[in-house]
Amino acid sequence: MPPAYTAQQKAAISQFMSFTQMDRAAAVRVLKSHGWDAQNAVNAYYSGGGGGSNASSATKATLNKLFDKYRENAAGEPDLVGVDGTMSYLQQLEVDLEGMDSLAALEIIQAPTMGEITREGFVNGWLERDCDTIDKQKAYLGNLKTQLPADKATFTRVYKYTFFLAKTGQQKAVALEAATAYWDLLFASPLSAVKWSTPNNPWLDWWKEFLEASWKKSVNKDMWNETLKFAQLTLQDESISFWNEESSWPSVIDDFVEWVKNEKRGGAEQKTEEMEY
């Protein structure tokens, strides 16, 4: 009789087969060798299963050659891909240029801005994942997309890195309009592991409404990161009982809590007055 697999193992087999087109028996062998981790198994499959310094050197050389294809100014900026090359590269990866998967791709290669790629970030990012061709990178990102909605650790990494992508020039903060657009993308995307809204509390809409009316400043790194922490807590505790005046939240979040209580929840609870006779 064939061995009995757990539901998780069956899901891993199905996922691995769908990405690699391998037969079931071969899929099981590869998955067993990778502790039934489908994502690692897929990555290993597309990397050719190689290893050692020779394989790394060959992969690095291939990645450098691939990077060179997208440069606009090879003589003047040999280690930089600009806006046109970046867009061309992302299109070849078949990611949504306005979607969260493009942010995930740019986080992997540590892009300094939305429209630039450095040689170091590109080579090191994909070398670490053993993906030295467009096809392997596409497969990696395709697998990542299936994982993202349930992977809060990866989502957090992408979310925090987006702050650096959203900045312009040497600025230390993100313009409010840009930050709001990225919050919309990160907290409402089908790929998001933190969808900041519930049937009774449209948190993201409230947050944007509050900021538009009450916050005219830019968004610094602390505010950006604390918003994610606050969002996750509100999804766990919609009454916001975790918040108190002694908490060390940024003042903008303190103000938002008061705004929600007063503007969306009718103010402080009204005590029933005793009737006078």
Which residue range is the domain that position 210 belongs to?
A: 153-264
Query: Based on the domain organization, do 66 and 137 belong to the same domain?
Result: yes
Degrees (nearest 5) of the Cα angle 257, 263, 269? 80
Query: Based on the domain organization, do 59 and 127 belong to the same domain?
Result: yes
Last residue of a domain, one of 94, 118, 148: 148
Query: Based on the domain organization, do 157 and 246 belong to the same domain?
Result: yes
Establish if 202 belongs to a structural domain.
yes
CB 109 within 8 A of CB 117: yes
Last residue of a domain, one of 148, 167, 186: 148
Which residue stretches of the chain have pLDDT < 50? 1-2, 49-52, 269-277
Tens-digit pLDDT profile for residues 52-87: 455 578 889 999 999 999 999 999 999 999 999 999
Query: Based on the domain organization, do 229 and 137 belong to the same domain?
Result: no
Phi, psi of 276 (to 5 degrees): -95, 135
Query: Based on the domain organization, do 77 and 22 belong to the same domain?
Result: no
> Structural domain tally of the chain?
3
Query: Based on the domain organization, do 78 and 34 belong to the same domain?
Result: no
Establish if 31 belongs to a structural domain.
yes
Query: Based on the domain organization, do 226 and 182 belong to the same domain?
Result: yes
Establish if 92 belongs to a structural domain.
yes
Q: What is the pLDDT of residue 5?
A: 78
| C-beta atoms surrounding 260 within 10 Å | 18
- Give the C-alpha separation, 271 to 257, whole Å: 21
pTM of the shown model: 0.77
Query: Based on the domain organization, do 188 and 141 belong to the same domain?
Result: no
Establish if 173 belongs to a structural domain.
yes
Query: Based on the domain organization, do 203 and 109 belong to the same domain?
Result: no
Here the CATH number for the domain that contains residue 86 is 1.10.238.10
Average model confidence (pLDDT) across the chain: 87
Token digits of residue 20 = 């690699």
